[in-house]
Amino acid sequence: MRWVNRQVRRSDAVLLGAVPIVLLLLVYLFLAVSRHAANPFDKILPLPQGMVTGMVPLLFQPDQLSGQYVFWADTLASLERLGLGLAIATATSLVVGLVLGVLPPVRATIGPLVTGIAVIPPIALLPILFIALGLGETAKVALIVIGITPVMVRDIAAYVGSLPREQIVKAQTLGAGSWQIMLRVALPQALPRLIHALRLALGPAWVFLISAEAIASDIGLGYRIFLVRRYLSMDVIIPYVAWIALLAIVMDVALAQLSKRAFPWAHGASH
């Protein structure tokens, strides 16, 4: 049987998907154990128990200086920045993308500007943001917003612009004006696409968050990773990275579920 025709059952798919992950973990463990056999104080590839010892104070003991549980304070700070950035970016891209996609004069006016902003590497703007907005929360949130909004705007605008012309014409023959078409025809159909765009933007958003925290911050997941790097604390860095990965996956799955629940018509006939 040709490989293109081989269907994988759901139970087999779970098993197959676990294989590379388990293999990777085993390879890590093997390397870590062999390094520790040569040098019991090795810091580069910590053993699981090493990670536990490294993480327990951060997880369960308040910091002597600030009185905070460091790991949870870091998580909260990072999620606040990320959530705020994502929320602003999502709202902006929905509104701007919608008017860009539906109204040709608006597209002609601000389309080039959006394209221009989109091609600037956001990290190159980070110094400007720090100078203009200071080193506080605003600059970090602004970096996330500037980093992901243009891409999302262009995606929404292109999607709305590619709605079948027949639908727009039909709406007009039903008495709808520009505003009503935007509100009742374009907006509802743009929402599932917006969630899709947001899912794709999660990756870049994390990159900008960690970058901003690495450069100027006093709390946050990215700040902690870059802080303990000075002490080669891989026993903290690796759990933190795994935690970030877990958070990102949970967000992605939650958004996918939200889209399926809220917009069943956008996910095929079987609803």
Binding site for another protein (CB under 8 A): 164-167, 169-177, 179-180, 183-185, 188-189, 263-266, 268-269, 271
What whole-number distance in Å separates Cα of residue 143 and Cα of residue 216? 12
Closest contact distance (angstroms) between CB of 140 and another protein is: 36
Least gap, CB of 267 to another protein (angstroms): 9
129 or 185: whose CB is closer to another protein?
A: 185
Burial 20-53 (b: 16+ CB within 10 A, else e): eeeeeeeeeeeebeebeeeeeebeebbbeebbee
For another protein, the closer of residues 112 and 188 by Cβ is 188
User: 70-102 vs 48-60: helix axis angle to the nearest 10?
Assistant: 90
For the CB of residue 173, give the shortest distance to another protein in the complex, in Å. Answer: 5
Q: CA 102 to CA 178: how far, in whole Å?
A: 8
Closest CA to 42 of 52, 54, 33: 33
Q: Are the C-beta atoms of residues 83 and 254 closer than 8 Å to each other?
A: no
Rg of the chain in Å (alpha carbons): 23
Closest approach of Cβ 111 to another protein, in Å?
Answer: 22
Q: How far is the CB of 162 from another protein (least distance, A)?
A: 12
Instruction: Decide whether 47 or 176 has the Cβ nearer to another protein.
Output: 176
Nearer to another protein, 31 or 174 (CB): 174
Nearer to another protein (CB atom), residue 184 or residue 229: 184
Closest distance of CB 237 from another protein, Å:
45
User: What is the CA 61 to chain-centroid distance, rounded?
Assistant: 29
Closer residue to another protein in complex, CB, 39/162: 162
**Among 196, 224, 195, 220, residue whose Cα is nearest residue 209:** 220
